[in-house]
Amino acid sequence: MVNIIETKNLSKTYNGKIKAVDNLNITIQEGEIYGLLGPNGAGKTTTINMLTTRLSPTSGTATVAGLDVIKDSMKVRRILGVVPQDLTADEDLTGRENLELVAKFYDVPREKAKERIDSLLKMVEMTEASTRYVKGYSGGMRKRLELIIGLVNDPKILFLDEPTLGLDVQTRSLMWKYVRQIQQNLNVTIILTSHYLEEIDALAEHVSIVDHGKILITGTPEELKASLKGDVITVSFKEQHEAEAMKNISGVIEATDSGPNTVRIKVENADDSLPGIINFISENKLSTVRLTVTKPTLDEVFLEYTGRDIRSEEPTDARKAMMNMRRVRQ
């Protein structure tokens, strides 16, 4: 396995005080999809901007395909494709014109550019839409166009900063299909940032959970889930109930209040602990509304390592993305 990206103590401090990225050490293998998962302000975009030479690090180093992002920035740029978090396509041009503009920027010869643009449009099922103005595109069409804009220069590595933010579930899974196709058919290493745990779980071979500019844990999604050791039983009661009393049930590692009348109980093994919990409920004559058992998911991993639920971060961002798209439509 060849490491295509390596960072050593990569750091960025804005205005001498905001430590956006704090001694980041990552290695990314050639050909893989690597996920950076973290809440708002975790430092994901700042990391991507440094790796793509748009932003210079305050300290530390990073190499991309053996090239230093500072000393060899021009060479690095030639082998990268970037799909930034913010939308970039020109709304007063057609989809195809946008792609042609990028091809021109990278000096792709005319014939070759046409061939590549045609095949990229076909891949994301946008051939027909490509002759229309971008301002008339739906949010999903717009994101598909943005995705292939990053591929016009035939990059070895593609950076996708929140590729599906604010998209509906259906369009999101369509985007996942394209991302897999890009990895497999075009032989591209992909670095992806996301708020969506399902997305990282579905796509990434390795993931780093980042928060406050630091990596909290790295591994395959399966390794991270396995590291949690334990299942979670969530019980919602009809009336107010404190978690405290449930801590002494046999097999319970931890019981915490989580939301109105709801207790989150971590146990070694749900199958072994459920009878004891059900007994407790009936002995205390408690009425429950719902009881769910979850095997560790990336949600649980995130909660465990950051101390909070990533979902609470979503609405603001989804709203941000919606506003972006509204702006696009106007």
Ligand X SMILES: Nc1ncnc2c1ncn2[C@@H]1O[C@H](COP(=O)(O)OP(=O)(O)OP(=O)(O)O)[C@@H](O)[C@H]1O
Nearest to ligand X of 16, 109 (CB atom): 16
Nearest to Mg ion of 44, 264 (CB atom): 44
Residues 66 to 85: which contact Mg ion by CB under 5 A? 85
Nearest to ligand X of 15, 287 (CB atom): 15
Nearest to ligand X of 213, 296 (CB atom): 213
For tokens 């070694």, what's the residue?
268
From the number of C-beta atoms within 10 Å of its C-beta (0-12, 13-18, 19+), residue 52 rates as buried
Indicate the SS3 state at residue 187. Answer: coil
Rg of the Cα atoms in the chain: 23
Among 43, 163, 166, 230, binds ligand X (CB under 6 A): 43
Strands (E), the chain: 3-14, 18-24, 27-29, 33-37, 59-64, 67-68, 80-83, 157-161, 189-194, 206-211, 214-219, 231-237, 252-257, 262-267, 288-294
Residues 15 to 44: which contact Mg ion by CB under 5 A? 44
62 is an interface residue for ligand X by CB under 6 A: no
Among 45, 52, 63, 208, binds ligand X (CB under 6 A): 45
Residue 65 identity (one-letter amino acid): A
Q: Which does 322 bind (CB under 5 to 8 A by kind): ligand X, Mg ion, none?
A: none
CB 265 to Mg ion: min, Å: 34
45 is an interface residue for Mg ion by CB under 5 A: yes
**Part of the chain binding ligand X (CB under 6 A), chosen from 1-9, 33-41, 143-151, 214-222:** 33-41
Nearest to Mg ion of 85, 208 (CB atom): 85
List Cβ neighbours of 30 (8 Å cut-off, separation of 6 or more): 1, 2, 3, 4, 189
18 is an interface residue for ligand X by CB under 6 A: yes
